[in-house]
Chains A and B, each alone.
Chain A
Amino acid sequence: EAGVAQSPRYKIIEKRQSVAFWCNPISGHATLYWYQQILGQGPKLLIQFQNNGVVDDSQLPKDRFSAERLKGVDSTLKIQPAKLEDSAVYLCASSLLVSGQGGAFFGQGTRLTVV
């Protein structure tokens, strides 16, 4: 079974530029998460989708971050404009819709460096 795919793996941009990350979840997984993991910290949930609807985006900095999940499958996360403090690993995860069934499976992440 293919895992969660993310691209790119690494990205370096200058502050105030924009960047986009892509995620393809495990086939059949209705729930998709985007997490931000700053070095030395635990992952922090940015946004959670169930199919193509947003379940939780309370910690998403909406003035600069946006995310969409068209057709309930792939998702993109965008930052515009980027700030130095956005440097982190952005993790995408997916899980089955059925309550608690299985764990959330994570992709390898995109390491963003803002200079």
Chain B
Amino acid sequence: AQKVTQAQTEISVVEKEDVTLDCVYETRDTTYYLFWYKQPPSGELVFLIRRNSFDEQNEISGRYSWNFQKSTSSFNFTITASQVVDSAVYFCALRGSNYKLTFGKGTLLTVNP
């Protein structure tokens, strides 16, 4: 069985602060993929990043960075210098060998001006 846990239900920061969203996952598969999605108030789920289980190299893309640690089954997401437009619900998701995509419950990020 697959499980994704996002312990933070809501986070509120002031603009320009850095913020890290936590994600912990469970799977019995040896090959799997991890994802982060953003859901702004408009409702559409926007794909941000994919990571496979064999690639623990962390990545930075502009103000976004991801920290994948297989030893702790964590895939955390950091926004540097947050902006009001970053306000959204962020979902971590896991896909195993059967292609089933399982989501966490999401973290509501509010960035205040």
Contacts and interface: CB of A to CB of B under 8 A. Distances in A.
Interface of A: 31, 33, 35, 41-45, 48, 50, 55-56, 89, 91, 93, 95, 99-100, 102-109, 111
The binding surface of chain A is classed by DSSP as strand
B100 A103 contact: no
The 10 residue pairs across chains A and B that have the minimum distance between CB atoms: A103-B47, A42-B103, A106-B45, A100-B33, A42-B105, A43-B103, A108-B44, A42-B106, A103-B50, A103-B35
A89 B43 CA distance: 9
A42 B104 contact: yes
B87 to A, nearest CB: 16
Interface in B56-103: 91, 95, 97-103
Interface of B: 31-33, 35, 37, 42-47, 49-50, 52, 91, 95, 97-106
A93 B101 contact: yes
A86 to B, nearest CB: 17
Contacts of A107: 44
Given A42-B91, A108-B43, A109-B43, A95 B105 contact: no
